């Protein structure tokens, strides 16, 4: 178990709301609050700290207006980023009244970048240093505006729903996730999202944000030397949340749309407060934690008392007019200080890790591409990753829509069946019971064996009851009927439509009590009245019937429309799948072509290498021959020199002999 880190940050006093009174004991321009390293105390205007219990609060850090975003990041979030890259879930959020500096803390300015840009850069730096692991990072950016979740990275993603599954836990269905490989890319996406954020104007802050935003990075990683696909992959989520500001509606002067927004904001912040309050209570007395009461708490559920390391930066305004709100913020922060989380590294072995599914495929493509087009390889891989991920998300979204439409269709069909049943019930007569039939007979007709008169002496005024038998084959004698009705002929087919379904037993039994001695005129008069009332009932039933039929037709049309939409969605899904398949086929074909090229080039290289080897062999032989020839020449020239020496000495000797001969000849001459 690990406590949530909580810091309080006072923004610099607003120069427009400057108070001319001298600065209090707190110094630094904070006349209402004394700010120490870890403590905030409420001051009396003239004297020192107020000795009221609860007026002094202690936190992990307390910063005054001089603190930079970088310092706050270093104290509260830097460590969290290291943990997230290592596989823990992490969440940092800014809480506070409107205009107290939440957005400034999270986003910052150009001169003093906020927590989000610092965190993004740090994630990539840390990832780069972890050279024994391979990472896949994807980001999403959403807002909760008037309790509706909108995607900030695409304008199509509006009113998204929260779903929960065993594999993915709580997630926002259809949310765009972009796979990224540099901090710059993420910051560009953030800028795009920021432009889509809902800003409004209240008296408190000209550019006050009216929605909660959640920037999310999902970091998947696996060991680089893991070749076995059964190895675990770490998946961690970093949530960086900029909440909309709580506000007192009286003070902001909000009305119309702004008032409505303010109510939603206050409600969700109140639920966040409730969740924190519950979590800060002693474990056993905690009871139910109302995460589901707002979208914000539902999405942040793991970060609040769950599997995550969490840092909260509570921002406050130092001015006197904001004392009430600041005190509320400090109370929230104190409660949050008591909440513990239980974070652990998330390792999964299933295919839910995107990295795992993509890794093999990408590795395959990487191998194919390597050597031929290695310069653009990283770009190609990133694009492939994004394409694959997008089509997966799209497929999930379509599957979900299909599921919902199916459910809707089933509901409509049920409704339709119910309506049809009602219709049938109305149009059919339920008086099949023989006792009821008997009871329907007037005492007069009872005396006539084949006679039957639809007599309603007691119950005719009640529109609920108009009990005519289904089988009217035992009709009263025509004369008797005419006499009884004074010439008024009742359309029995129409009478069958009357919805006289239930007839109480007491009525039925009472029929026997109809006075037989009633004068004919009175009786006729009564019957005439009954007849009129019957007609009215019939008209009403007809109208009801027509209405029901209309309703049924509308439902049928709706059903038809839904079926058409369903088949259209299916067609769209099919065409999307086909398109993606075609793209994949195209890529595969390209890869195959590359492979073929590579193969041909390799073969050529192999042939050349063989030729070279042969030539080198031949060259060796030639060289050897040359060496031998040189050796021969050397031997020959040595012999030649020897011969030359011999010849020279021979020549010298012969010359000497010749000289001697010449000399002796001259001496012997006279
Ligand atoms: P919130 O998001 O809480 O409604 P903002 O972050 O929009 O409030 O802050 C309101 C104004 O105060 C903005 O102009 C912002 O630049 C300024 N501000 C807030 N905190 C600081 C701070 N620590 N240093 C300088 N300016 C700040
Ligand atoms: Mg803001």
The pLDDT tens digits for 30-85 are: 567 888 888 888 775 544 444 454 467 889 999 999 999 999 999 999 999 999 99
Q: Where are the beta strands (DSSP E) in 182-232?
A: 199-200, 208-209, 212-223
From the alpha carbon of 104, which atom of ligand 1 is closest?
A: 6
The rounded distance, in Å, linking the Cα atoms of 84 and 345 is 9
In sequence order, the β-bridge partners of residue 212 are 144
The rounded distance, in Å, linking the Cα atoms of 507 and 102 is 75
**Between residues 104 and 254, the one the model is more confident about:** 104
362, 370 contact by CB (below 8 A): no
Ligand with smallest separation from the Cα of 246: 1
Predicted pLDDT of residue 177: 92
- For the Cβ of 215 lying below 6 angstroms from any atom of ligand 1, the answer is no
How many Å lie between the centroid of ligand 2 and the Cα of residue 87? Answer: 30
Ion ligand 2: residues, CB < 5 A: 102-103, 209
Q: Work out the number of other CB atoms within 10 angstroms of the CB of residue 453.
A: 21
From the alpha carbon of 207, which atom of ligand 1 is closest?
A: 7
Pocket test for ligand 1, best of 11, 29, 97 (most atoms within 8 A of CB): 11
Nearest-10 crossing angle of helices 115-129, 183-196: 150
Q: Show Cβ contacts of residue 104 under 8 Å, excluding neighbours closer than 6 positions.
A: 11, 69, 114
Pocket test for ligand 1, best of 104, 200, 241, 258 (most atoms within 8 A of CB): 104
pLDDT digits (tens, 9 = 90+) for 422-446: 777 766 644 444 444 444 444 444 4
The rounded distance, in Å, linking the Cα atoms of 268 and 261 is 11
Tally of CA atoms within 13 A in the half-sphere of 41 that contains its CB: 19
Q: Which of 102-111, 246-255, 463-472, 614-623 shows the lowest mean pLDDT across its residues?
A: 463-472
The rounded distance, in Å, linking the Cα atoms of 393 and 399 is 10
From the alpha carbon of 106, which atom of ligand 1 is closest?
A: 6
From the alpha carbon of 9, which atom of ligand 1 is closest?
A: 23
Predicted pLDDT of residue 468: 40
Nearest CA to ligand 1 atom 1: 99
How many Å lie between the centroid of ligand 1 and the Cα of residue 190? Answer: 19
From the alpha carbon of 69, which atom of ligand 1 is closest?
A: 23
Percent of the chain with pLDDT over 70: 71
- For the Cβ of 104 lying below 6 angstroms from any atom of ligand 1, the answer is yes
Spatial CA neighbour of 75 closest among 125, 3, 6, 1 = 6
Residue 256 DSSP code:
T
Residue 401 DSSP code:
H
Q: Work out the number of other CB atoms within 10 angstroms of the CB of residue 444.
A: 16
Question: What DSSP element (H or E) covers 133?
Answer: strand 133-145
219, 80 contact by CB (below 8 A): no
Strands 133-145 and 5-10, by their bridges, are unpaired
Mean pLDDT of 221-227: 75
How many Å lie between the centroid of ligand 2 and the Cα of residue 42? Answer: 25
How many Å lie between the centroid of ligand 1 and the Cα of residue 241? Answer: 16
How many Å lie between the centroid of ligand 1 and the Cα of residue 226? Answer: 47
Which two tokens mark 645? 């020496």
How many Å lie between the centroid of ligand 2 and the Cα of residue 5? Answer: 21
What are the Cα distances from residue 388, in Å, to 153, 167, 178, 361, 574? 18, 19, 11, 10, 16
3-state helix, strand, coil in the chain (%, to 5): 55, 15, 30
Would you say the C-alpha torsion 243, 248, 254, 256 has a positive or negative sign? positive
Mean pLDDT of 215-241: 82
Residue 474 in this model has a pLDDT that exceeds 90? no
How many Å lie between the centroid of ligand 1 and the Cα of residue 269? Answer: 19
- For the Cβ of 99 lying below 6 angstroms from any atom of ligand 1, the answer is yes
The rounded distance, in Å, linking the Cα atoms of 340 and 304 is 8
**Between residues 386 and 135, the one the model is more confident about:** 135
pLDDT digits (tens, 9 = 90+) for 255-309: 667 677 777 887 888 899 888 888 887 666 677 889 999 999 999 988 888 888 9
Given the structure tokens 């610092």, which residue do they identify?
A: 118
How many Å lie between the centroid of ligand 1 and the Cα of residue 103? Answer: 7
198, 210 contact by CB (below 8 A): yes
How many Å lie between the centroid of ligand 1 and the Cα of residue 66? Answer: 13
The rounded distance, in Å, linking the Cα atoms of 661 and 328 is 147
Residue 241 DSSP code:
E
Given the structure tokens 């007569």, which residue do they identify?
A: 429
- For the Cβ of 13 lying below 6 angstroms from any atom of ligand 1, the answer is no
Residue 404 in this model has a pLDDT that exceeds 60? yes
Residue 638 in this model has a pLDDT that exceeds 80? yes
The rounded distance, in Å, linking the Cα atoms of 289 and 271 is 10
pLDDT bracket for residue 484 (50, 70, 90) = very low
- For the Cβ of 118 lying below 6 angstroms from any atom of ligand 1, the answer is no
The rounded distance, in Å, linking the Cα atoms of 606 and 614 is 12
How many Å lie between the centroid of ligand 1 and the Cα of residue 215? Answer: 19
**Between residues 157 and 560, the one the model is more confident about:** 157
Ligand with smallest separation from the Cα of 98: 1
How many Å lie between the centroid of ligand 2 and the Cα of residue 295? Answer: 19
pLDDT bracket for residue 648 (50, 70, 90) = very high
CB burial class (10 A; 0-12, 13-18, 19+) of residue 141? buried
pLDDT digits (tens, 9 = 90+) for 79-127: 999 999 999 999 999 999 988 999 999 999 999 999 999 999 999 999 9
How many Å lie between the centroid of ligand 1 and the Cα of residue 639? Answer: 106
Residue 215 in this model has a pLDDT that exceeds 60? yes
Predicted pLDDT of residue 288: 85
Residue 625 in this model has a pLDDT that exceeds 60? yes
How many Å lie between the centroid of ligand 2 and the Cα of residue 199? Answer: 9
422, 548 contact by CB (below 8 A): yes
From the alpha carbon of 67, which atom of ligand 1 is closest?
A: 23
pLDDT digits (tens, 9 = 90+) for 600-610: 788 888 888 88
- For the Cβ of 96 lying below 6 angstroms from any atom of ligand 1, the answer is yes
92, 311 contact by CB (below 8 A): yes
What are the Cα distances from residue 485, in Å, to 160, 434, 469, 476, 528? 67, 25, 19, 12, 6
- For the Cβ of 326 lying below 6 angstroms from any atom of ligand 1, the answer is no
From the alpha carbon of 208, which atom of ligand 1 is closest?
A: 4
Q: Show Cβ contacts of residue 178 under 8 Å, excluding neighbours closer than 6 positions.
A: 138, 139, 140, 153, 189, 386
- For the Cβ of 107 lying below 6 angstroms from any atom of ligand 1, the answer is no
Pocket test for ligand 1, best of 68, 72, 101 (most atoms within 8 A of CB): 101
From the alpha carbon of 100, which atom of ligand 1 is closest?
A: 3
Q: What is the pTM of this model?
A: 0.58
Which two tokens mark 319? 């001015």
From the alpha carbon of 242, which atom of ligand 1 is closest?
A: 2
- For the Cβ of 197 lying below 6 angstroms from any atom of ligand 1, the answer is no
**Between residues 512 and 359, the one the model is more confident about:** 359
**Between residues 29 and 350, the one the model is more confident about:** 350
- Residue 289, SS3 per DSSP: coil
Residue 432 DSSP code:
T
- Residue 137, SS3 per DSSP: strand
Mean pLDDT of 335-354: 75
Given the structure tokens 């707002």, which residue do they identify?
A: 294
Which two tokens mark 273? 């407060």
124, 182 contact by CB (below 8 A): yes
What are the Cα distances from residue 391, in Å, to 353, 384, 405, 476, 573? 16, 11, 21, 76, 10
From the alpha carbon of 105, which atom of ligand 1 is closest?
A: 6
Predicted pLDDT of residue 73: 97
Q: Show Cβ contacts of residue 353 under 8 Å, excluding neighbours closer than 6 positions.
A: 220, 222, 233, 235
Which two tokens mark 253? 């002067």
**Helix runs in 98-198, H state only:** 102-106, 115-129, 183-196
- For the Cβ of 11 lying below 6 angstroms from any atom of ligand 1, the answer is yes
- For the Cβ of 103 lying below 6 angstroms from any atom of ligand 1, the answer is yes
- For the Cβ of 108 lying below 6 angstroms from any atom of ligand 1, the answer is no
Predicted pLDDT of residue 344: 79
Spatial CA neighbour of 233 closest among 357, 401, 82, 68 = 357
Predicted pLDDT of residue 607: 83
Q: What are residue 281's phi and psi, to 5 degrees?
A: -75, 165
Ligand with smallest separation from the Cα of 67: 1
What are the Cα distances from residue 446, in Å, to 12, 170, 440, 457, 613? 101, 74, 10, 15, 126
């Amino acid at each position: 178990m690990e406590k949530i880190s909580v810091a309080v940050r006072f923004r610099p006093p607003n120069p427009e709301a400057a108070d001319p009174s001298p600065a209090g004991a707190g110094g630094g321009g904070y006349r209402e609050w004394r700010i120490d390293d870890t403590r905030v105390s409420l001051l009396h205007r003239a004297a020192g700290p107020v000795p009221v219990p609860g007026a002094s609060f202690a936190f992990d850090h307390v910063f005054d207006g001089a603190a930079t975003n970088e310092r706050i990041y270093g104290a509260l979030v830097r460590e969290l980023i290291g943990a997230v890259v290592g596989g823990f879930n992490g969440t940092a959020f800014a809480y506070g009244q409107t205009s107290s500096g939440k957005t400034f803390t999270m986003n910052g300015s150009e001169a003093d970048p906020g927590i989000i840009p610092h965190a993004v850069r740090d994630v990539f730096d840390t990832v780069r240093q972890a050279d024994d692991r391979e990472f896949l990072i994807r980001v999403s950016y959403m807002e909760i505006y008037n309790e509706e979740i909108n995607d900030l990275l695409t304008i199509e993603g509006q009113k998204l729903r929260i779903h929960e599954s065993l594999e993915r836990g709580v997630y926002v269905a259809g949310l765009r996730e972009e796979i990224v490989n540099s901090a710059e890319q993420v910051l560009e996406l953030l800028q795009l999202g920021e432009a889509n954020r809902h800003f409004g104007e209240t008296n408190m802050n000209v550019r006050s944000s009216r929605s909660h935003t959640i920037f999310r990075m999902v970091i998947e990683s696996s060991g680089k030397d893991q070749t076995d696909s059964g190895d675990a992959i770490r998946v961690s989520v970093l949530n960086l949340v900029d909440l909309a500001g709580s506000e007192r509606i009286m003070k902001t002067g909000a009305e119309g749309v702004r008032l409505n927004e303010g109510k939603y904001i206050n409600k969700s912040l109140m639920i966040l407060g409730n969740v924190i309050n519950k979590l800060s209570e002693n474990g056993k007395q905690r009871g139910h934690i109302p995460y589901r009461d707002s979208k914000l708490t539902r999405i942040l559920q793991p970060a609040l008392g769950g599997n995550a390391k969490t840092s909260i930066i509570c921002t406050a305004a130092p001015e006197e007019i904001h004392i009430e709100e600041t005190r509320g913020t400090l109370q929230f922060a104190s409660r949050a200080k008591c909440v513990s989380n239980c974070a652990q590294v998330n390792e999964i072995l299933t295919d839910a890790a995107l990295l795992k599914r993509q890794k093999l495929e990408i590795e395959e493509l990487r191998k194919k591409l390597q050597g031929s087009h290695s310069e653009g390889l990283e770009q190609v891989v990133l694009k492939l990753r994004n394409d694959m991920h997008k089509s997966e998300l799209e497929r999930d979204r379509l599957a979900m829509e299909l599921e919902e439409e199916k459910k809707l269709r089933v509901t409509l069909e049920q409704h339709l069946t119910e309506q049809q049943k009602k219709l049938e019930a109305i149009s059919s007569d339920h008086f099949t019971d023989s006792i009821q039939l008997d009871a329907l007979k007037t005492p007069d007709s009872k005396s006539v064996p084949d006679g039957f008169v639809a007599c309603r002496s007691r119950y005719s005024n009640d529109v609920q009851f108009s009990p005519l038998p289904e089988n009217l084959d035992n009709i009263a004698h025509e004369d008797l009927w005419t006499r009884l009705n004074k010439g008024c002929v009742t359309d029995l087919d129409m009478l069958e439509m009357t919805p006289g379904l239930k007839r109480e037993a007491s009525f039925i039994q009472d029929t026997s009590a109809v006075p037989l001695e009633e004068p004919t005129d009175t009786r006729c008069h009564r019957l005439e009245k009954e007849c009129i009332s019957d007609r009215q009932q019939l008209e009403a039933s007809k109208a009801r019937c027509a209405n029901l039929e209309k309703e049924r037709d509308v439902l049928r049309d709706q059903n038809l429309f839904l079926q058409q939409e369903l088949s259209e969605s299916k067609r769209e899904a099919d065409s999307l799948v086909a398109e993606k398949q075609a793209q994949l086929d195209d890529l595969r074909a390209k890869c195959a072509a590359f492979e073929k090229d590579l193969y041909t080039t390799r073969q050529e290289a192999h042939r050349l290498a063989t030729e070279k080897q042969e030539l080198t062999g031949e060259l060796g032989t030639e060289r050897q021959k040359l060496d031998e020839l040189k050796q021969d020449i050397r031997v020959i020239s040595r012999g030649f020199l020897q011969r030359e020496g011999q010849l020279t000495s021979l020549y010298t000797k012969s010359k000497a002999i010749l000289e001697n001969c010449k000399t002796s000849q001259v001496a012997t001459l006279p």
